[in-house]
Structure 1
């Protein structure tokens, strides 16, 4: 099968049809930024962008993604020039132990794209002008858990990245 990851095309041969996208990224392509947390789609540590939309890679069978484009945390920025969300997390200390950080960052990038496209969330009101309110960001990031509790610093990091 063919899979494009972070702009590079990969041909995967002999792939077990039960292999998840997460396991392909970590074990076959050695992209270990994406973390295996719960392996049940409950924590968000494995969040990547699949054709531009955020997904839990532990729930996606790799074989079903023929010709898909995957972006991991390693593919967001460039050496010396981090993605605005990565920069925001650094500047606002939006992490502690760092285990959930790659998934948080990928999810934030996806959430900001959803906001830019005008997609509502569960808390978006009919007259909601502020799609970067704390409530809005919390709702959009609710699928990503942080055991350390670095949430208060993630909010300004994400809000600032939206303005860059």
Structure 2
């Protein structure tokens, strides 16, 4: 199974906005609408939003940015799989595709992300993919910061 990152365009933004997480996940991630607005109007972080596709099917959304040239870090700010596609390994394939994309397009030492402290499912997921809890809190959203060091 291969997941592709496809830039958000006038052709797919509505479908991306229509993606949703399950009812028990609503308070753990920003909406895709909020993410697209942030990407469009918060120029300070140079966000790059992408639809996540399996073949021609849109299964999720991700957004990366806030590249720090001094620290050589980048934020994986959003990763969501639509509730209809969860539990089918799309998330695992998506994180691999995102990490691969980042390594192809950026010179980095680490990838950063933040997670709600009570989102144990996401924490376990990211730990399986070599992200570790830095024991720091993101001041923008009061979430735990996780870090994955670059390895060849």
Q: Same fold by TM (over 0.5)?
A: no
Larger Rg: 1
Structure with more of its chain in strand, by fraction? 2
TM-score (norm 1): 0.29
Structure with more of its chain in helix, by fraction? 1
